[in-house]
Amino acid sequence: MAAVPQRFPEPGINKDRAPTSSRASTPNQLTFSIVPIAPFRLDLTAWALRRRPQNLVDRWDGTTYRRVLPFDDAPVEVAVRQTGSSSAPRLNVRLTGERLRPEFKREAKALVEKMFGLQVDLAPFYQMANQDPKLLVLVEKFRGVKPPRFPTIFETLANAFACQQLSLTVGLGLLSRLAGVCGMSLKQEDGTHYAFPRPQDLLKVTPGEFRKLGFSSNKVRAFHELSRAIVNGRINFDCLEKMDNQAVIDFLLELRGIGRWTAEYVLLRGLAPLNVFPGDDVGARNRLAKWQHRKKPLDYAGVAHVTRRWQPYAGMVYFHMLLEGLSEAGALEESGGKKKKRPLQDS
C-alpha cells in the first residue's frame, strides 16, 4: 500500500455521531472524518471507481481522491485521504468551495460512505474466499477494496451509455470532455475542475454539440430523453432501492438505450447488490476466461455458470478482476510515479 499521506486537520469525529467542524476550517473549507468498516484501502477502491486515467471527474494522485460535486447548485470539491492501516482505517475528508454551509458535511459524509462502500461488511466474502485457493490469491492481493457506487443512478446510466459499443478508455474520455462542456466548475490553484453533469446540465447541450464531442446520434437521443424525463419528474429512480434485481432490470429495459448489459451495470455500480457480475461485459468476461485458463471465450450463460460458485459475491469478484487488469497494466502505481507496464486493454 502507498505510504501514509499527510493528515488533514483532525476534527475528532467518529462514525457514531454526525461530523462537526474542525477548528482549522476556514469559511471556504470544512473538514470531518469517517471510520470505515475494516479492512479498507482507499487507493484500490478509488481505482475501482475511477477505472481509467482518462477519467478526469474522479481524480486520484496517489494519496488523495478528489471530485467536484454539486451541493444545492454550488460546486464543492470533496477530497478524501486515508490514514492508518487497512485494518484500522480512518478517512479525512475536506470540502472546498465558495458557498459552503455546515449542513453540507452531513450530505458529503453520506455520499462518501456510499461511493466507497465504507459501511459494507465484507467478512462473509473473505470467509468464502478462504475456501477457494485460486480466488484467495486474488482477494489477498486486493484485500481492502470495497464495492464502489456512482453518486446517482443518472450518472451510472450516463457512464453505461457512453461506453456502449466503445472501449472503456474511449467512453470515459467522452464523458470527461462532456463534463468540461456543461458540468459545474470550480477554479482552484491547480486549475479548473468540473463536476459530472446533472440532467439539467445535459439538456443545455445541443445534439450538434454532443456529436462534436464524439457521441453518436442514438446516444444523444438516449441522453436527452433520460435527462428530460428526470427533469420533468416522469422518472424517479428512488424506487429502485427497494426492488429486487429482476424488477430493477424490467424497469430499466423500458427506457431508451438500455439493454441487459446496461441494466446489470446499473445494479452493480448504482445500487450495489453484490451478486451481480454483468455477463455481457466483454472486458470482464474475457478477463474471467483468462483467469480461469479457458481456451474458449465465455458467453453470458458461461459467465453465470462460472460465477455461481461465488454467490452471493460474484460482484466482488468483478471488481477484483477489474483491479487485476489495472495492476497488470501498471495503472495502480502510475500516479505514484512508476512507469506503466503495458497499455490498458478493454477486452
| pLDDT at residue 4, rounded to an integer | 39
- Residue 241 grid cell: 432501492
Q: Model-level pTM?
A: 0.87
| pLDDT, mean of residues 92-108 | 94
| pLDDT, mean of residues 232-236 | 95
**Residues counted in the chain:** 347
| pLDDT, mean of residues 158-173 | 93
| pLDDT at residue 32, rounded to an integer | 97
Instruction: Give Cβ neighbours of residue 287 (< 8 Å, ≥ 6 apart).
Output: 321, 322, 324, 325
Tell me the torsion sign for CA atoms 231, 235, 241, 245.
negative
| pLDDT at residue 331, rounded to an integer | 87
| pLDDT at residue 345, rounded to an integer | 55
How far is it, in rounded angstroms, from Cα 116 to Cα 93? 13
| pLDDT at residue 8, rounded to an integer | 40
| pLDDT at residue 10, rounded to an integer | 35
The percentage of the chain sitting over the pLDDT mark of 70, rounded to a whole number, equals 88
pLDDT of 109 > 70? The answer is yes
| pLDDT, mean of residues 325-344 | 66
Mean pLDDT, the chain, as a whole number? Answer: 89
CB atoms within 10 A of CB 30: 24
The percentage of the chain sitting over the pLDDT mark of 90, rounded to a whole number, equals 81
pLDDT in tens, 166-215: 899 999 999 999 999 999 999 988 899 999 999 999 999 999 999 999 99
Work out the angle at residue 237's Cα, subtended by the Cα atoms of residues 233 and 238, and round it to the nearest 5 degrees.
105
pLDDT of 344 > 80? The answer is no
More confident residue, 272 or 78: 78
pLDDT in tens, 127-138: 999 999 999 999
